Amino acid sequence: MAWKFSVLVVANVTADAPELIQALKERASRDSCAFTLLVPAPAAGSVGREAARTRLDSALAAMRDAGLEVQGEVGDHDPIAAVHDAWDPTRYDEVVISTLPTGASKWLQVDLPSRVEKLTGGSHVTHVVAEPPRPVPPTTPAPKPEKHGVLAPLIAAFTGKR
């Protein structure tokens, strides 16, 4: 029986980012891996947990479509507490943390990757930086052009109507 590495993946806004999925595919290409995606709730309470569940479901679908073996769970709204609750050194071999770039990332402001490395007793922690999802602009149909007859300029000139 071949050894299968178990990787805890911590992500929220970037959970279905192409950069994270690519990093996980590269990791899986080196060794047999099973991933667990932990999505900390964006806020406390049931509304935050429901938002995290929606993001988790979307990210799991994208990861599975990419051929990754992955399961998932929603965690506490504090990412350190979420990792603390999920971390089990007998279950996981390493951690991958996905954040937004410096400046946009609240997780980097609290130095989450280093804190998780300390919390997990020095386990290997990989940090993936992903761009924020681009909002899709709402589409509205172009206004229909007004229909003007051939004589419209003459009518406007004589009557003042346009």
- Note whether 75 and 8 are within 8 A (CB): no
Query: Can you give the CATH number for the domain in which 48 is found?
Result: 3.40.50.620
Spell out the residues 6+ positions from residue 39 whose beta carbon is closer than 8 angstroms to its own.
11, 12, 15, 52, 55, 56, 59, 72, 73, 74, 75
- Does a structural domain hold residue 67? yes
Question: Are the beta carbons of 37 and 60 closer than 8 angstroms?
Answer: yes
According to the model, what pLDDT value does residue 132 have? 75
* Identity of the residue numbered 114: S
State CA 97 to chain mean position distance: 11
**Gap between the Cα atoms of 116 and 8, Å rounded:** 11
Beta bridge partners of 5: 33
- What percent of the chain has pLDDT above 90? 75
pLDDT tens digits, one per residue of 100-156: 998 889 999 999 999 999 999 989 999 999 987 776 666 667 666 666 666 666 666
60 within domain boundaries: yes
Tell me whether residue 22 is in a domain. Answer: yes
Which residue segment(s) compose the domain that 9 sits in? 5-133
Inside any domain, residue 91? yes
pTM for the whole structure: 0.80
- Retrieve residue 38's tokens: 């932990």
The predicted pLDDT at position 1 comes to 54
